[in-house]
């Protein structure tokens, strides 16, 4: 099922099935689904949503408003079993990077046990199905922000929101 969450960053669609979080789209992603119930702070809550989805939606709203929410904690809802062992290790290492910190592609590769795989880590970041939860915006190039699926302006805004960059 897909539900869309209205936040200060924009609408963030989520796809879930049962107890698993399958996908998160970044705000303003042209490929994001336009269908699905919209959860808004001041609107009615759709019936039948699991409690964990409602809590995740509240956390996304709070995060986008600047509250010190740890979205990494939602990583336990992501099923990594269908991914390559490389991506599983990289995503698990990235879930260990706390809010307010960043890692270079090279350092994350080393922390995941692949010290010479910085470029492959970049590929894993580009393929991340659940950005914000698996915080690929925290991975930077040596010397600059690096690329981001939501664009460098959104990446900069997220890192400023988390205190990893000064405004």
Catalytic option among 64, 94, 112, 136: 136
Asked if residue 42 has pLDDT above 80, the reply is: no
pLDDT at 28: 85
Structure token digits, residue 153: 């302006």
pLDDT at 89: 97
Q: How far apart are CA 27 and CA 5, in angstroms?
A: 10
Asked if residue 46 has pLDDT above 90, the reply is: no
- pLDDT band at 3, cuts 50/70/90? very high
Is there a catalytic annotation at residue 136?
yes
pLDDT above 70 as % of the chain: 100
Question: Once rounded to an integer, what is the mean pLDDT over residues 98-102?
Answer: 95
By the 8 A CB rule, do 116 and 55 touch? no
Question: Once rounded to an integer, what is the mean pLDDT over residues 99-105?
Answer: 96
Helix (H/G/I), strand (E/B), else coil: 125: helix
- pLDDT band at 40, cuts 50/70/90? confident
By the 8 A CB rule, do 128 and 134 touch? yes
> Model pTM?
0.93
Provide φ and ψ at 46, rounded to 5°: -60, 145
Asked if residue 77 has pLDDT above 80, the reply is: yes
In sequence order, the β-bridge partners of residue 3 are 14
Question: Once rounded to an integer, what is the mean pLDDT over residues 98-113?
Answer: 97
- pLDDT band at 44, cuts 50/70/90? confident
- pLDDT band at 58, cuts 50/70/90? very high
The full set of domains in the chain, from first to last, is 2-75 (3.30.160), 83-161 (1.10.10.10)
DSSP 43-75: SPPPTT--HHHHHHHHHHHHHHTT----GGGGG
pLDDT at 81: 86
pLDDT at 100: 94
Neighbours of 45 (CB within 10 A): 12
Q: How far apart are CA 109 and CA 151, in angstroms?
A: 22
């Amino acid at each position: 099922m897909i539900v869309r969450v209205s936040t200060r960053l924009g609408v963030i669609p989520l796809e879930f099935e049962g107890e698993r979080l399958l996908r998160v789209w970044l705000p303003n992603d042209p490929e994001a689904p336009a269908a699905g119930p919209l959860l808004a702070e001041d609107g009615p809550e759709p019936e039948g949503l699991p409690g964990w989805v409602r809590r995740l939606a509240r956390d996304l709203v709070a995060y986008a408003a600047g509250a010190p929410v740890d979205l990494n904690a939602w990583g336990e809802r992501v099923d990594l079993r269908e991914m390559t062992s490389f991506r599983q290790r990289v995503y698990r290492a990235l879930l260990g990077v706390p809010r307010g910190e960043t890692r270079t592609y090279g350092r994350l590769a080393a922390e995941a046990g692949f010290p010479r795989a910085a470029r492959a880590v970049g590929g894993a970041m580009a393929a991340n199905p659940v950005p914000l939860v698996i915080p690929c915006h925290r991975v930077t190039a040596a010397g600059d922000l690096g690329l981001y699926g939501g664009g460098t302006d959104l990446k900069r805004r997220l890192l400023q929101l988390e205190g990893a960059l000064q405004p």
